[in-house]
Structure 1
Amino acid sequence: MSRPLFVSLDGPKGTGKTTLLEAVTKVLRADNQKVVRLSEQKSDPYRAETMALVNALVRNPNRDLELRVCERFADSRAWISQHVLTKQPADSIILIDRWYPSDAAFRRIVRFEHILQLNLERNVQVPDLHVGVITAPDISWARAAERRRGLSSTVIHRLEEQVACTQAFERAITDHGWFLCRNETTIEDATAQVVSEIYSAINIAV
């Protein structure tokens, strides 16, 4: 490849997305691929200020405030696109933990089509492969309950909210043609699905 292959992994909380990302990284590196692991959260220099708005939105849901949150996340992704993604080796596979597809799960008022447009207008880099990681909401909810940190979500606190989050994300996967990975059986099965799709994307890019 003459440029990095950019792959985002997105999904509701508790679907095993980060565990899957780690497993995919291990398999690709064992196959002598150069893999760069990134996290939107850790790469975002404005995260603290944006999360303060998210917390305010939880207390007082309204469209104007949610739109500001969406705009700030898009601005951050534009910054990451320019200052982080462009610095990665041309022959690498970039795996990022969350990107703009995740807004389809966590935003409730602003339509995802509007959110997508906000990102594209800011020249946010479009992944070569969007991976949507999904489980049935009762499974992700139960998995989260077993973790010491729980669901670890600012915006999801009840099972019915997790159901709505999952349904919204599944609709976005269908509407936008993202790759659906159902992570409900073994991590090996989910890893094989994603690795196969990455190699298909590499062949297309070449």
Structure 2
Amino acid sequence: MAWEVLSSIGTIAFAVSGAIIAMEEEYDIFGVYLLGIVTAFGGGAVRNILIGVPVSALWEQELFFQLALASITLAFLFPNKLLGPWNRWGHFFDAVGLSAFAIQGALYAVDLALPVYAVVVAAVLTGSGGGIIRDLLAGRKPLVLRSEIYAIWAAIAGILISFDLVRSDLLLYILFVCITVLRILSYLYKWKLPTRHIHSAS
């Protein structure tokens, strides 16, 4: 049950985030739908390629495509004044999508009996893959490549699930809320991972 719920939440959240980015970049209606769909399903497609699942499996998810299309339509029709800027709503939807899809991807890999590192990779790619594709298509630097903490939250979810520390539906929902809150806090308070800058000699 948790897998379906989190898949639905992630699909809606990333579809909306892709639509918001497209509207900020002043894409036409086709571009809004395209970027929303790519954001919602891009992470799952990349994950399937790496863990050996046919990408065609995505086309069997008719309900999720309907959810994505409905969500994009609502975002497109939503009044600009209520939708607000990307910095207010976009990061919230992105955090929700990251958390939901990271957990979904980890569960998917565990069900295939993949090793721990594969589960973590599946969590990270499913949680951040759609956002990476979205940002690249929109000409933006992907959030996952910035020093601000982002994909590490997806990796933590993958580790917890791979070691069977979080398996019941209740614990999965709690993990979802925790990862979402941590991602939002890391954005609000600018939590960063260590960085190193190399300056070339002039």
| TM > 0.5 fold call | no
Scaled by the length of structure 2, the TM-score of the pair is 0.33
Question: Counting strand residues as a fraction of each chain, which structure ranks higher?
Answer: 1
Question: Counting helix residues as a fraction of each chain, which structure ranks higher?
Answer: 2
Structure showing greater relative contact order (alpha-carbon pairs closer than 8 Å, 6 or more residues apart): 1
